[in-house]
Amino acid sequence: MDMIKLTIDNREVEVPKGTTILKAAQGMGIDIPTLCHFELNNLGVHNKPGGCRICVVEVAGRRNLAPACVTECMPDMVVRTNSMRVINARRTVLELILSDHPADCLQCAKNGNCELQDLAVRFGIRKNPFIGPEHEQSSYQLEVSPSIIRDMNKCVMCRRCETMCNDMQTVGALSAIERGFPAVVSTAFNQHLDHSPCTFCGQCVAVCPVGALTEVDHTGAVLRAIVDPKKTTVVQVAPAVRVAIGEEFGMEPGTIATGKLTAALKALGFDYVFDTDWSADLTIMEEGTELIGRLTKFLEGDKNVPLPILTSCCPAWVNFFEHQFPELRHLPSTAKSPQGMFGAIAKSYFAEKINCKREDMISVSVMPCLAKKYEVGRDELKVNGNPDVDYSISTRELARLIKMANIDFKSLPDAEFDSPLGESTGAAVIFGTTGGVIEAAVRTAYEIFTKKPLPKIDFEELRGLEGVRSATIDVDGLKLNIGIAHGLGNARKLLEDIKAGKSNFHAIEIMACPGGCIDGAGQPLHHGNADIIKARWEAIYRADREMPIRKSHENPSIQAIYKEYLGEPCGHKSHELLHTHYFDRQTTVEVDLNK
Amino acid sequence: MANYKYHILLCGGTGCTASESPKIKENFIQLLAEKNLTDDVQVVATGCFGFCEKGPIVKILPDNTFYTQVKPEDCREIIDEHIIKGRKVQRLLYENPEDQKHISDSKHMGFYKKQMRIALRNCGFIDPENIDEYIARDGYKALATVLEQNDPKATIDIIKKSGLRGRGGAGFPTGLKWELCAKNAADQKYIICNADEGDPGAFMDRSILEGDPHSIIEAMAIGGFCIGATIGLVYIRAEYPLAIHRLQVAINQAREYGLLGKNIFGTDFDFDIILRYGAGAFVCGEETALIHSMEGLRGEPTFKPPFPAVEGYLKKPSNVNNVETYANIPVIINKGWEWFSSIGTEKSKGTKVFALAGQINNVGLIEVPMGITLREVIYEIGGGIKGGKKFKAVQTGGPSGGCLTEKFLDTPIDYDNLVAAGSMMGSGGMIVMDETSCMVSVAKFYLDFTVEESCGKCSPCRIGNKRLCEILDKITKGQGTMEDLDRLRNLAHVIKDTALCGLGQTSPNPVLSTIDNFWDEYVAHVVDKKCPAGQCKALKQYIIDPEKCKGCTACARNCPVGAIKGTVKMPHEINQELCIKCGTCMEKCKFNAISIK
Amino acid sequence: MEKIKSLADLKKKREELQSKIELREEGDNVENLVQIKVAMATCGIASGAKQTMEAIIDECKKQNVKAVVSQTGCMGYCYAEPTVEVKKPGEDPIVFGHVDTKKGQELVTKYIIGGEILEGVIPVNYEKIDNK
Amino acid sequence: MDNKKIIIKMKPEVREKVIEICDSFGNNPGELINVLHQTQDFLGYLPAEVQELIAERLHMPTAKVYGVVSFYAFFTMTPKGKYPVSVCLGTACYVRGAEKILESFEKELGIKPGETDENGVFSLASLRCVGACGLAPVALVDGKVFGRLAPAMVKDIVKEYREME
């Protein structure tokens, strides 16, 4: 590799050709501040508009200042990152950004977790010379959707959300609109997100450096339910939550905090603390059975059987195909998501068991996800208007609840999930990352289909963080072609292939968020640190290995519920409780016949 | 073919078209038919003559008579007197403002004397919708020569040696730009013409496209051959319908003659041109923004590198030049680089077209050799300040430029001198201002423009220019403080230092140059709360002269805010606290009793 | 329309077309050219001035004489129509009378090219229109 | 929650024409600006439903179409009046008093730039340089250029067009 020598802040450094000044400086321990710049290299996310101009540096011989984030190092370049000229410019630019930003930090959902606020602290901004009686600020309407709150007055035009929504997810709900001073990233015609193709994946929220995009907060409602003596509260926790929540309490990324998490939920006062992993195992039973069913028909020569079967646990992904590929909506498994299955069982089987009326039970889910907030509102997941899950809160919201309740998370003694909806397997925990659902399904489908034990439990070929992966699994002679995509843009590639008749997969797993649920929009904010995601990913597989049972169909509690309540997987009762259907939600323009 | 004895050329540019030149043409044709002279006299609608102040222009040849401000009803007299009887119509001739004598020949008019027309060589001379007239003027000869020589490197070398620099603003050497693009190998390259003239008050590119569209086609084909592009794209303002029409006609004609298409001049060079329309965004004059706009995207600039020469339209190597730059190319090939480089100054060769406007007698489009002084342009070509008022400043470079004062009047105009003086060449707008122009308001006018035209991508331009504008507004309202002036200067420097593209980096120039050159005027607004030019509304005071006021009550009755009090037949008075300075009272007063202080 | 396939083609085409705008090219250079004015009022036209003018134009072309041929009103020599005024650069104009097509051609070959004064010179006793 | 799809209704002739325009550009998203130009030529403006249709035909997000429409000054989402009035605010016109001309039109028509009056007769806009700087200040009414304007002339111009109604 070609190396380049240059000087930054009077120190010589050698970097490979193509390195930006920002990267070179970072390598030397020089922390040039940035705002719009955002990269997750291992997940293929790049947002480098060079727009905020916070990272400007002085390059000898150059007329104006250079943005460090996009300026490449050149041989013999002399760079100053902290001259008076640079500091003055940086500070003035920061003051400008702040002059068009509401100063309601104390009420802001991002208070304490805001990259702009951090910059203001770092530069000791006290009084803003550009704020006066005459200064104008953006005036957009605050908008609340089922999952996401948009306050475009806080938008700093970093374009991260636009990059996620378009380049990564190819959803296209967001775009930069208008120009000049009123320019922000918003929806078509500045409409409500409900009228857009938004999937509520929330990746925009996950990357927003400020409080322009935040999640809908249900912590208050959950607290009220907990303290309401007439209500029985049941909580479920998704697999990816346990490998991330520790970060909110200063624990190392990748810490598996299942025991403390369970203890904290109990300390919060939930009546029953259960595990979404349990219903993940249930999902495998249903989805795996569906896969075997379709495959068997296919092998018997039925060419009309819908293949490949697509996973359906990710609600943002469900929204995506309902909006963008409604013509393929016969392909995904009809199995509800683990959250949905859990809710249905909690308010039927379990409610009956503890003799609690449906209306008196408040079912709460803790999810790494914002689309789950949307999902709990779907009509198919309600009975007579009463939702199977009343509130879905994010990992971040749970952390806030824990802090609010004076619980010292780190020093909590580990606790166990309650029974019967708390027992789970290693197959369930890997739902938390890309490739996990399909691996779990293969573990079970293999044994059910071949009636032979698996020679090896770990399917390394299904793991990894590349956007699109494929593997062929030898199921006792049957070559099962499996596709995996995470990030909806990657999913689109596989779907286009299916549409074009070019796909030879039998089953495809799709997760909307890059990396899967570990990088869900409800997780602690990683602020662009890709190592955090990697650590969570490793933790998921570690958690799998640590489980005594690692195949869903071996979960005794799952076996029990089929025996005593559900009957057969994909049987009548299962269909009623655990399966759903999909809609065509693509916006279309049609001829008005009534003139 | 008719053997015409007279040619009547009339300006078909936008300005003259707006003042009924099409009707004039129609009248001429009709009258000639009436007199049976259709075969003797040819009527040609040409491109702009440049002397827009006196439009519509009609020129009669062979005797080279230059009629100004011709009205449709004048046509009969011109035919009867001039064409038939050979007597020039005196009252339509240009009157020399110095001695009130009529001048019949444009060559002897001050407006044309100092001009040198290279880029505009065919404007006002040929029928832009007739390729034959262009060919008759050596059209396509340069392309033929270049293709025959079949040595792109040598041609680029000619352009390099000629010293031609980009006429769009920054003045990057054209030959070097071509060379950089030629070096990058690719399966497809593009040569692009920037005809998105967005500078308010500049219309040179439009005039060239309207008056001599073939020169652009020819130059783009030459450029295409040199850099290895087979497709040319013209990014043209949708607001220029006439230019679009003429260019389209010209492209069709060139295709019919085989001058566009496959195997041009029997060589294996293929080339064709596509039009792309701008949609009203000044920032699209910046080449990366222009390219994004051509791709159907928002016209936002991106950081360079990569330069378009490496990654341009559809990610392919592309070369972008503006219209005026291209217009110079065929002449340079035909007449040689030595000839071209003999014109101008050491670092700025050739000529520059300026749109001369403002408080000046001869508004119009002029082309002058580089190195001419502002004084020559304003006083000799422009005929001095309108109404005999005093010269105050000249603004060059449009919203990216600055205001130059009297002390720069004798500076030779070239790229580097203008930059050194705190302005820039820009695309060539030249606005002359007299003592009634308030320089704070002028700075605000340009900032208003930049605020409206900022793409919003980078914070210094999106928010900074807005804040600059707010501070200027505060000053023009008499609410500014001395701290505001410091703030203004610091902010202007930071924007220059940090903005992403050329638009943002130059947007504070009108502020900085007026602060530097008219500091006292700023101070007067801030400290004395006075606008020396009497322009700033909020600093105006309407005063009723008690001597002149007859007490007719017209002002009081019409005042929308009831600020005027007084009894009938007694002098009235204006309550300055209530007055909104709308000027209605002054309009209504029949006795000239109200004045502005 | 015929395509232009080479530089030679273009040159040929240009030569054909150049005459079309020659008049304009010359307009820029009017004081260095021979200026010929043919009186073309009713009397002139009646006595064949139009034909004379055509003949002069054709002859100029044939002899490659760069001249500006234009018409004027009645010069006041109705007895001698058609009348033609010829002004060579730097010289005073001379008016010739009774210029028919043949004499028109001679005017070009003999006077303009040869410098020979032909018969029928009319003494100048009028003010030039342009100098009014 | 409403799981139904959003169906936008449109006049058949409008839908047909817009589809024809999109087809003529090969439904290529790179041709978006050309498509918008032609559609606006046809309709006079670009209402939201038309942008939805264009997005659908060009297989691109509506947000991106709107992002482009709202970026460029030439595109408008409000129908223009029968007689659109545009006052040139280019520099040449500005230094010769264009602001006062605009003010006079505002006063006379009772609307601000960017607006259309209630009856849809007049709409007002400002633009940058029509290139008739010799005639500054200049305004365009229904495509006709009025040059060398003075505020006092505005009333008569408006009256002239009002009478044509």
Q: How confident is the model at residue C130 (pLDDT cuts 50, 70, 90)?
A: very low
Residues 27-86 of C with CB under 8 A from B: 27-28, 30, 35, 37, 40-41, 53-54, 57, 68-74
Q: How far apart are CA D19 and CA D55, in angstroms?
A: 11
D38 and D104 housed in the same domain: no
D98/D65 same-domain check: no
Please answer yes or no on whether B457 and A135 come within 8 Å at the CB atom: no
User: Domain for residue B119, yes or no?
Assistant: no
Cα distance from A298 to chain D (closest Cα, Å)? Answer: 32
∠ CA A424-A428-A430, nearest 5°, is: 140
Residues for chain B: how many in total?
597
Q: Are residues D147 and B56 in contact, defined by beta-carbon separation less than 8 angstroms?
A: no
Using a CB-CB cut-off of 8 Å, the residues of chain B touching C72 are 85-87
Residue with tokens 């507004």: B473
Q: Closest approach of chain D CAs to the CA of B247, in angstroms?
A: 17
State the chains in contact with A (3 or more Cβ–Cβ pairs under 8 Å): B, D
Query: How far is Cα B204 from Cα B355, in angstroms, rounded to an integer?
Result: 6
**Span B549-576, pLDDT tens digits:** 999 999 999 888 889 988 898 899 999 8
Q: Per-residue pLDDT tens for A439-485?
A: 999 999 999 999 999 999 999 999 999 999 999 999 988 999 999 99
pLDDT at C72 over 60: yes
Pairing of strands B542-544, B351-358: unpaired
Residue A595 pLDDT exceeds 60? no
The pLDDT of residue C127:
45
What's the rounded mean pLDDT across residues B293-321? 96
Chains with ≥3 Cβ pairs under 8 A against C? B
Average pLDDT over residues D76-82: 90
Read off φ and ψ for residue B366, nearest 5 degrees: -130, 155
The pLDDT value given to residue B1: 38
Cis peptide before A33 (omega within 30 of 0): no
Say which CATH number the domain at D156 has.
3.40.30.10
Looking at residue D2, its pLDDT comes to 54
Candidate from C3, C4, C73 with C-beta closest to B85: C73
B552 and B524 in a common domain: no
Interface of B with C (CB under 8 A): 1, 3-7, 9, 59, 61-64, 83-88, 90, 104-105, 107, 125-126, 132-133, 135-141, 144-145, 147-148, 256-259, 265-266
- How distant is the Cα of C68 from the closest Cα of chain B, in angstroms? 6
Q: Which CATH fold would you assign to the domain A3-82? A: Ubiquitin-like (UB roll) (3.10.20)
Q: Where does a domain end: B340, B364, B380?
A: B340
Does D48 contact A588 at a Cβ distance shorter than 8 Å? Answer: no
Domain covering A231-578, topology: Rossmann fold (3.40.50)
Query: Is the residue at D4 inside a domain?
Result: no
- On whether the CB atoms of residues B526 and B488 are closer than 8 A, the answer is no
Note whether C71 contacts B84, CB cutoff 8 Å. Answer: yes
Distance (Å, rounded) from C-alpha D2 to C-alpha A168?
27
pLDDT exceeds 70 at position D5? yes
Mean pLDDT of chain B: 92
Domain boundaries, chain A: 3-82, 105-215, 231-578
Of A146, A195, A589, the CB nearest to D15: A589
Interface test with A, best of D60, D66, D75, D76 (most A CBs within 10 A): D66
**Whether pLDDT at A183 is above 70:** yes
Angle at A515 between CA A512 and CA A516, to 5 degrees: 50
Structural domain boundaries enclosing B61: 6-111
Residue partners of A393: CB distance under 8 A and separation at least 6: A218, A219, A222, A364, A365, A366, A367, A401, A522
Q: Is residue D5 part of a domain?
A: no
Same-domain status, D111 and D142: yes
List the one residue out of B71, B83, B88, B222 whose CA is nearest residue B151. Answer: B222
What is the rounded average pLDDT for all residues in chain A? 95
* Domain end residue (candidates: B301, B320, B340): B340
Considering the domain architecture, whether residues D47 and D104 belong to the same structural domain is answered as no
Q: For chain D, what is the domain count?
A: 2
C50: domain CATH number?
3.40.30.10
Is D91's CB within 8 Å of B200's CB? Answer: yes
Per DSSP, the residues of A207-218 read H-SSTTEEEPP-
Q: Please judge whether A176 and B456 are an interchain contact, meaning their C-beta atoms are less than 8 angstroms apart.
A: yes
Do B523 and B501 reside in the same domain of the chain?
Answer: yes
D60 within domain boundaries: yes
Query: Do A105-215 and A231-578 agree at the fold level?
Result: no
D103 and D63 in a common domain:
no
Rounded CA-CA distance C23/B63 in Å is: 9
Residues B98 and B222 in one domain: no
Domain annotation covers residue C99: yes
Distances (CA, A) of A17 to A24, A81, B401: 11, 20, 37
Chain D CA closest to residue A584: D5
* A56 → closest Cβ in B281, B487, B498: B498
Query: Taking phi first (over 0 means left), then psi (-120 to 50 degrees means alpha), and beta for anything else, what does residue B219 get?
Result: alpha
D108 and D63 in a common domain: no
Q: Which one is predicted more confidently, A77 or C125?
A: A77
Q: Give the Cβ contact number of residue B173 at 10 Å.
A: 17
Give chain D positions within 8 Å (CB) of A152. Answer: none
Q: d(Cα B562, Cα B577) in Å, to the nearest integer?
A: 11
What is the domain range of residue C108?
30-131
> Do D88 and D159 reside in the same domain of the chain?
yes
Backbone angles phi, psi at B353, to 5 degrees: -90, 135
Residue type, A69: C
Residues of A in contact with B473 (CB under 8 A): 134
* Chain A residues in contact with B306 (beta carbon < 8 A): none
Mean pLDDT across A344-360? 96
Contact D9 A196 (CB under 8 A): no
Domain identity same for D60 and D102:
no
Of B281, B305, B460, nearest to A93 by CB-CB distance is B460
Most confidently modeled range among A303-307, A423-427, B36-40, B360-364: A423-427
Interface of D with A in 61-100 (CB under 8 A): 61-67, 70-71
Structure confidence at residue C70 (pLDDT)? 77
> Does some domain include residue C51?
yes
pLDDT tens readout for residues B323-336? 999 999 999 999 99
**DSSP-assigned states of every residue in D44-85:** SS--HHHHHHHHHHTTS-HHHHHHHHTT-TT--SSPPPSEEE
* D123 located within any domain: yes
DSSP helix/strand/coil, D146: strand
CA distance A174 to chain D (A): 6
Cβ–Cβ gap A587/D70 under 8 Å: no
Which of the four pLDDT bands, split at 50, 70 and 90, describes residue B518?
A: very high
B430 inside domain: yes
Residue C118 lies in a domain: yes
> Is B125 domain-assigned?
no
Which pLDDT score is estimated for B61? 84
B460 — contact with chain A (CB < 8 Å)? Answer: yes
With an 8 Å Cβ cutoff, are A135 and B467 in contact? Answer: yes
B258–C5 CB contact, under 8 Å: yes
Q: What confidence tens digit (pLDDT) does each residue in B189-215 have?
A: 999 999 998 777 788 898 899 999 999
Q: What pLDDT, on the 0 to 100 scale, is given for residue C129?
A: 43
Nearest to A441 by CA among A519, A538, A509, A512: A509
> Closest Cα of chain C to B213: distance in Å?
18
B417, B434, B451 - which closes a domain: B434
B261 min Cα distance to partner chain C (Å)? 11
* Number of domains into which chain B is organized: 5
Contact B105 C23 (CB under 8 A): no
The closest CB to that of D132, out of B15, B239, B282, belongs to: B15
Tokens 């006709």 map to which residue?
Answer: D144
Residues in Cβ contact with A510 at an 8 Å cutoff, skipping those fewer than 6 apart? A310, A311, A314, A317, A484, A485, A486, A488, A491, A494
CB pairs under 8 A between B and D: 130
- Residue A42: the pLDDT is 80
The answer, for D30 touching chain B at a CB cutoff of 8 Å, is yes
Q: In a mutagenesis test of the B interface, which of A73, A101, A179 is the best target, namely the one with the most B β-carbons within 10 Å? A: A179
Identify which of B4, B105, B258 has the shortest CB distance to residue C3.
Answer: B258
Query: Please, what is the Cα angle at A125 between A122 and A128, to 5 degrees?
Result: 155
Q: Give the gap in angstroms from C-alpha B280 to the nearest C-alpha of chain A.
A: 12
- Residue D16 is assigned to a structural domain of this protein: yes
Write the residue in D73, D96, D129 that is nearest to B203 by C-beta: D129
pLDDT of residue C105: 86
Same domain, B389 and B470: no
Higher model confidence: residue A68 or residue D100?
A68
- CATH number for A105-215: choose from 3.40.50.970, 3.90.25.10, 1.10.10.10, 3.30.70.20: 3.30.70.20
| Complex ipTM tops 0.95 | no
Q: Does the bond joining B72 to the residue before it have cis omega, within 30 degrees of 0? A: no
**pLDDT average, residue stretch A272-290:** 97
Q: Nearest by CB to C6, which of B83, B107, B266?
A: B266
Catalytic residue numbers of A? 287, 290, 313, 333, 372, 375, 380, 517
- Percentage, residues of chain B above pLDDT 90: 68
Q: What would the two tokens of residue C106 be?
A: 């001679």
A190: its two tokens: 């500045």
Domain at B582, CATH number: 3.30.70.20
**Is the minimum CB–CB distance between D15 and chain A shorter than 8 Å?**
yes
CB contact under 8 Å between B15 and D29, yes or no, is: no
Residue B523 has pLDDT above 80, yes or no: yes
Query: B383: domain CATH number?
Result: 3.10.20.600
Whether D150 contacts chain B with CB within 8 A: no
Chain B partners (3+ C-beta pairs within 8 A): A, C, D
Mutate to test the interface with C, among B8, B10, B63 (most CBs of C within 10 A): B63
- Whether residue A263 contacts residue A412, with contact meaning beta carbons closer than 8 Å, is answered with yes
**B53-98 tens-digit pLDDT:** 888 999 998 888 899 999 999 999 999 888 887 788 889 999 888 7
